[in-house]
Amino acid sequence: MIRKAGCAVQTLCGNKAFTLETYASSLHVSCCYSSAKAPQAQNLPHLPVPKLGDTLTKYLKSVRPHLNDEEFAVTSTLVKDFGAAGGIGQKLQSLLEKRAEQHTNWLADWWLSSAYLEYRDPVVVYSSPGLVFPFRTFQSEQDQLNYAAKTVMAALDYKALIDDNAIPVEMMGKSPLDMSQYKKIFGTCRIPGEKKDRLSFNDSKHITVLHNNHIFHVDLWGEDGKRLNEKQIAEQLKKVKDASKTPAENPVGILTSENRNAWGRAYEIMKKDSVNASSLADVERSLAVLCLDAAAGLRGAGGKDRQQNIAAAQTIHGGGSGANGGNRWFDKTIQFIVGADGVTGLTYEHSPAEGQPIAVMTDFIIDYIDKNKSSDQAASSSPLPPVALKFNVNDDVKASINTAKDNLDRLVADLELNCFTFDKYGKSFIKSQKMSPDSYLQMAMQYAFYRLHKTPGAHYESAATRMFAGGRTETIRSCSVESVEFARAMLGPAPPKEKVVAMQRAVNAHKNYTVQALQGLGVDRHLLGLKLVAIENGIDLPKLYLDAGYVKSAHMRLSTSQVACRCDGFMCYGPLVADGYATCYNPRERDVNFATSAFNSHPATSCQSYRAALEDSLKDMHDVLLQATPSKL
Ligand code: COA
């Protein structure tokens, strides 16, 4: 089982030969706003199995910053033995290639299971990201309800586009990206199991609405089969609020924040009661969840970053059992959050989709709201009233709810968040320096970590592998020999020109790895595949996987992901390891939204210090670039 937070020189992808050069100049994701529809079957190339020798060469290079000379010598020998003719690596490689011949995507099922469904820590903090929408000012309850209704309308319009295959196909350079993740946004629910969860895919005509920890079924189509309009949805939500003026005695939703085994056990107990079984099925089938939250202290909170931290907390964990933590159903892929004092956003359960499709949907919703769009469909003349879902809570389940409350509160207290907008510059400046903005920002994080901890930080960045059928992500190992040399150069007395040369080398090394990762030619998924194929075939785990090189280079103290949206929002999530930081960022032309987090319980990390180091690093990089540029006067 692996932990997911929280994203070739020449190879064959399906029948098509791709080269580094083909993609190096045009790697960014863009939406193709032609009328082209995402076809049902996109006929994309299959995820390649990298050549063993290529992966091992890359791997050895990537472990170097984390090892002393003796350790590196041991790792080098292990790598040599692993890859030798007749060695275990070759055997595993041929088993993996055989699997790839039989699967469209040799990794997809394994990844879904090992990164998500078999992962037992809570989805809250450890897996599900929050996405904070731009702030709103609600003067009244009606404002909150109108905004929530508008959000639902926008989501329904977006779902209609998905159903019609009308979402513009995203492109990476000239390559279309796999659009199948969009189909899993609405109606999906993760169902807890005692050892492994499963995903349930549904289509329906209702949403689940939570208020004061009560759970309601709200139909969005009337008895006449017509969709409700915005005013009618707001009226339904008002009925929900009026029917739940005091907090629910048993906040059943908080169970979804639990360790998955514990929730799986409670779920089985609950399901034995037919009333519970029917309510659970109702939530499972709904299109999405809408959380009408209590105020979270946004007003009078102070500056924008204070507000960003409050909103991030609400979207990641709901602020604990005393706040909105019980007003959630974390198993649902999408939970829209509309707080009484203007915190708006969503929480998404990560297993069916990556952050980027969710961010694209967010831009659609924000655009819809800001332009005050509405549907031209005839409204229903017979809306159905909301139905409060009933749960019979026996003593066992009550005890589980109390444990879940305690566990969530501990987790909430442990998560340090520091979110901010870096507004000194954004992508435009970096592009003007002829560098990749993403690689530059990644190197700023490397530099920040090194200046703070005086040691290289193993560093995970998600790269989309959606050029391939069913593709999800590959890891970019952002910590490199070059990134460490760059950080050292920046901290030393070298003249600006030398620092800039070190920066360019580090940025280029990162970009080079990115190009390969986007083509499915990184180190991590391939090594995972070889490991899983060994396990499936009853083969002892090769020593390579127990070695310091593997362990240290995969202990990702920086877990990072670019999730880009046009609006002034951002995604946020928890760190991957106890002594690590998370950094999710939304780079825009003139600023960058950063969401960083760490665990308070670990003495080695401080999010506040990391944020300061990151801001200082970004400023230093800007300054040396300007100092190294000859004056035009
Ligand atoms: N000089 C000038 N401009 C450059 C440049 C250079 N050397 N290199 C890149 N640029 C430009 C690009 O053309 C692009 O321009 P645009 O803003 O007009 O589109 C822009 O800078 C951004 O490119 P870059 O920063 O290099 O990369 P990217 O935005 O494509 O991001 C990844 C790279 C890896 C983040 C992206 O490919 C990806 O995989 N995203 C998905 C990650 C993910 O899955 N996250 C969710 C996990 S839950």
Q: Vertex 58, ends 54 and 64: CA angle to 5°?
A: 150
pLDDT at residue 13, as a whole number: 28
pLDDT band at 124, cuts 50/70/90? very high
**Cβ(8)–Cβ(519) below 8 Å:** yes
Taking 3-state DSSP, the helix, strand and coil percentages for the chain, each rounded to the nearest 5, stand at 45, 15, 40
- Protein residue whose Cα sits closest to atom 28 of ligand 1: 28
C-alpha 617 to ligand 1 mean position (Å): 20
Question: Residue 16 pLDDT > 80, yes or no?
Answer: no
pLDDT at residue 619, as a whole number: 98
- Read off the pLDDT of each residue in 337-363 and give the average, rounded to a whole number: 97
Question: Residue 224 pLDDT > 80, yes or no?
Answer: yes
For 555-580, the pLDDT digits (tens) are 999 999 999 999 999 999 999 999 99
**Cβ(343)–Cβ(318) below 8 Å:** no
Which is the catalytic residue, given 350, 459, 510, 526?
A: 350
For 54-100, the pLDDT digits (tens) are 999 999 999 999 999 999 999 999 999 999 999 999 999 999 999 99
pLDDT at residue 22, as a whole number: 35
Q: Which residues pair with 419 in a beta bridge?
A: 595
C-alpha 121 to ligand 1 mean position (Å): 32
Ligand 1 atom index nearest CA of 589: 17
DSSP string, 314-350: HHHTTT-TTTTTTS--TTBSEEEEEETTS-EEEEE-S
Which residue, 254, 258, 329, 337, is CA-closest to 295? 337
Ligand 1 pocket, residue 24 CB under 6 Å: no
The CA distances from residue 5 to 46, 258, 543, 576, 578, in Å, are 25, 16, 26, 5, 12
- In angstroms, the CA 559 to CA 584 distance is 8
CA dihedral 8, 14, 15, 20 (to 10 degrees): -20
**Cβ(44)–Cβ(468) below 8 Å:** yes
Question: Residue 189 pLDDT > 60, yes or no?
Answer: yes
C-alpha 30 to ligand 1 mean position (Å): 9
Question: Residue 2 pLDDT > 60, yes or no?
Answer: no
**Cβ(290)–Cβ(336) below 8 Å:** yes
- Read off the pLDDT of each residue in 10-19 and give the average, rounded to a whole number: 27
The amino acid that residue 481 corresponds to is: V
pLDDT band at 632, cuts 50/70/90? low
pLDDT at residue 40, as a whole number: 59
Residues across the chain: 633
For 424-465, the pLDDT digits (tens) are 999 999 999 999 999 999 999 999 999 999 999 999 999 999
Ligand 1 pocket, residue 360 CB under 6 Å: no
DSSP designation for 46: P
For 246-305, the pLDDT digits (tens) are 999 999 999 999 999 999 999 999 999 999 999 999 999 999 999 999 999 988 888 999
463 sits in the region (left: phi over 0; alpha: psi -120 to 50; else beta) called beta
Ligand 1 atom index nearest CA of 432: 2
Ligand 1 pocket, residue 213 CB under 6 Å: no
Share of the chain above pLDDT 70, in %: 93
For 24-38, the pLDDT digits (tens) are 444 444 433 333 454
Q: Is 214 in the active site?
A: no
Ligand 1 pocket, residue 26 CB under 6 Å: no
Q: Which domains does the chain have, with CATH numbers?
A: 46-113+426-628 (3.30.559.10), 125-416 (3.30.559.70)
Mapped onto helix, strand or coil, the DSSP state of residue 161 is helix
Ligand 1 pocket, residue 131 CB under 6 Å: no
- In angstroms, the CA 526 to CA 557 distance is 21
Q: Cβ of 603: how many Cβ atoms within 10 Å?
A: 7
Which residue, 214, 236, 238, 242, is CA-closest to 385? 236
Q: Taking all residues of the chain, what is their mean pLDDT, rounded to a whole number?
A: 93
For 311-324, the pLDDT digits (tens) are 999 999 999 999 99
pLDDT band at 11, cuts 50/70/90? very low
Q: Cβ of 130: how many Cβ atoms within 10 Å?
A: 28
pLDDT at residue 300, as a whole number: 81
Give the contacts of 497 (CB within 8 A, at least 6 positions apart).
628
Ligand 1 pocket, residue 27 CB under 6 Å: yes
**Cβ(557)–Cβ(579) below 8 Å:** yes
- Read off the pLDDT of each residue in 168-175 and give the average, rounded to a whole number: 94
pLDDT at residue 18, as a whole number: 30
For 358-379, the pLDDT digits (tens) are 999 999 999 999 999 887 677 9
Question: Residue 505 pLDDT > 90, yes or no?
Answer: yes
C-alpha 522 to ligand 1 mean position (Å): 17
- Read off the pLDDT of each residue in 518-523 and give the average, rounded to a whole number: 98
- Protein residue whose Cα sits closest to atom 30 of ligand 1: 28
pLDDT at residue 221, as a whole number: 98
- In angstroms, the CA 284 to CA 200 distance is 7
- In angstroms, the CA 192 to CA 330 distance is 11
- Read off the pLDDT of each residue in 466-483 and give the average, rounded to a whole number: 98
- Read off the pLDDT of each residue in 145-150 and give the average, rounded to a whole number: 97
Ligand 1 pocket, residue 352 CB under 6 Å: no
Give the contacts of 486 (CB within 8 A, at least 6 positions apart).
443, 446, 447, 499, 502, 503, 505, 506
Sheet containing 170-172, strands listed edge to edge, beginning at the edge strand earlier in sequence = 29-31, 170-172, 175-176
pLDDT at residue 253, as a whole number: 98
